[in-house]
């Protein structure tokens, strides 16, 4: 009975994992959509700022230049730290693998399988929570902009 339940859990987990796989083309489309939304929001904020502060065209141009400079600086900083982040990720993967190997030595095969299934389930739960938080944050921002308050 336990083996049947465990097998069913693996099948369900496997099907969820396969359903979560994203086509690289879809990622590219989503990234492009995200960039368009970000640019649109930036333009909306600039228009709102221009209206609220009664900015002239010269001021708007200077603010846009300042924002572009800041964006370029942030991108450069991000690129500069890329190698360091990659090294930390590799280090974390190695530690996770080491723990996994040690758990394999400590637990029986059935216990190890249950532990793996539990870990995967918890990870999926965290992903779901993060997606919900993201949607809630997006909804909260929409409500604020619709009610006329700025962010």
Domains of the chain: total: 1
Let me know if residue 66 belongs to a domain: yes
pTM, two decimals, is 0.44
Domain containing residue 79: 50-131
| pLDDT tens-digit profile, the chain (151 residues) | 666 666 666 676 666 555 555 566 667 778 888 888 989 998 999 999 899 999 899 999 999 999 999 989 988 888 888 888 888 899 999 999 999 999 999 989 999 999 899 999 999 999 999 888 876 666 665 665 555 554 4
113-137 burial, b at 16+ Cβ within 10 Å, e below that, comes to beebeeebeeeeeeeeeeeeeeeee
Let me know if residue 25 belongs to a domain: no
Q: Is 101 exposed, middle or buried (0-12, 13-18, 19+ CB in 10 A)?
A: exposed
Let me know if residue 54 belongs to a domain: yes
Let me know if residue 147 belongs to a domain: no
């Amino acid at each position: 009975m336990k083996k049947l339940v465990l097998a069913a859990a693996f099948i369900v987990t496997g099907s969820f994992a396969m359903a979560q796989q994203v086509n690289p083309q879809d990622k590219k489309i989503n990234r492009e959509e995200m960039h368009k939304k970000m640019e649109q929001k930036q333009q909306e904020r600039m228009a709102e700022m221009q209206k609220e502060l009664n900015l002239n065209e010269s001021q708007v141009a200077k603010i846009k230049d300042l924002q572009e400079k800041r964006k370029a600086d942030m991108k450069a900083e991000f690129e500069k730290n890329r190698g360091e982040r990659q090294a930390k990720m590799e280090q974390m993967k190695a530690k996770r693998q080491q723990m996994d190997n040690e758990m394999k030595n400590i637990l029986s095969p059935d216990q190890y399988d249950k532990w793996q299934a539990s870990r995967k389930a918890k990870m999926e739960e965290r992903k779901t929570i993060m997606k919900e938080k993201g949607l809630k944050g997006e909804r909260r921002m929409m409500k604020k902009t619709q009610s006329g308050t700025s962010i």
